[in-house]
Structure 1
């Protein structure tokens, strides 16, 4: 672009402008009314409410012309927002070196007079102008200048109010989503507590029976299982208590952790039936994300892979890789599989296939929908490929 005066803080100005969501929006009556009022007060045929982007000028309201935007290098208003003056007036553009060869002056529009007042936000950035044009030389009286300045403030007040309303709506939406996510997470976490509790109970019962009969050489292994499961349970409960005090920290509180260490901890929390084999990546990966969210994603998918495996030799393969943008996790099993028509529905809340697991229990429809919510909240995606009788593979991509 040529001969475009720029503010010293142009990047910050453009960033501020973006927060008002003005470009490529339809005209609105409340702004059209202000432009019409500016034309009437200033007694000129054309009035605009304009905003200056990186390379173009958009007309939020256009009275007296059908044009909706202009190139920035042809804009009178670009000079107005770069000036420190509270109004810029050009009595006769044909006599002004800045505009005498401008196509809107020399072309069919024959613009001669211009007056523009910058629209300035609360941080001091000039976002655009409210301006008036005439096709003959002209000027404004002091009262007309004051009125135009007042209209510029009204435009800014309306924009600021709308921006704050949008921010409140976004905050309320995020809060609602957070509350729903926490409720689902609490339901799923409470369900997952049953696994380490079962380990504790079964280990303790077996230990008691065998000690009553005779000293059993496998007691140390049972004791280790008991202690490990109890420690995992206590850690999970502590995390639940922490996040119950500050729900937003569920996703905001990120940390670096070992993927292999997490997988081994989760596997140790499961009751692995005889015949089920689980393989994990040999390479040691370090991940930086929400530990509790990642934990719950893997825990639920692994638990499903175990529960819904009907093969004599059940195989579960956990694979992982990463690139500059994503963590990529795959969990494949050779279980009962999922019909193609349900591949999307299984991620919706409370949806179940009505199938019983290897323990003759039916699912609640909570787990996979919560996994989907957690993955989405981590700026990721989850997909599945599956066929009845052959198994399923879940693909998770999480933004690094």
Structure 2
């Protein structure tokens, strides 16, 4: 018997092998199906998917054998990975000086062997797809082609498994970072709210106590401090709502009337400008996440109010149901949105250069939060708009039991 030599790039090959995390793993149906099919095509009792480790031959799939590893020194596959031919064949191992005294031959009667190297995308042979028989024989041309094709599929499975593992690791890392960001946003936002409230109160106190001593510019500075504090407070509130959408969307469902919901939204908005809001003609008894719907509608109707340059604001709200979904439509006669901005309005922090009717610029958080909530509630949202004429927002949410 002649022991198989090691490839010249053995350390690099082993590193490549270990990167797939396949050694010492449990049997998998995808690989077992290939070895079973290969044995049937080649008409042999044994078919294996092998991985050549430093000192052993690990059998990732073994059809016709009860064990899952053997010494590398006695393996046929140790010789096969050194051969750069498309297929390595030993028709009668008893007549081959490399194998005639091999325990696999003398004790297990492994006479015939055919193996195809499993070469990864970097060019390293990780192991083989091989077959054994207990008698001397040959393979037909079609059997050889099938064995080579099956080996190619095994490598594809290796690569797909590795790719999936990488994606899962990236997903876990992103989830961890997202949780850290949520925690950071929550802590910072809560810690900043009190100082901002103090700034607003202090500016009012200064105006009340020392207003007579201040000139117009001094009063403008106080107004600027107060308004900036309000703007930052709104920004922080928006961030908190955005990062808490998962909690909001997970709240239990309630039974409520669509008319009551919309009327509550209008009341909460405390509208003090000339505005006509047309409610849906039909009242629907709904069963959904009311808190999440309130947040969505507050944001959308609020935008219709803020981004409107008409003397009289007009907002039409429609609500309907069909099968397993509720559908909402909000149409206004506001400023409208540029076509090139429509595809980005739901991106976090995406803003246009348009100022609202009070001369303020948006923070790009509200619509991103709305889309996250709609998606979490099993629905979709879309926006159409004509610049200078108005905007229509349509969204759906799934009925909950």
TM-score in terms of structure 2 length:
0.47
Q: For the pair shown, which has the larger CA radius of gyration, 1 or 2?
A: 2
TM-score in terms of structure 1 length:
0.47
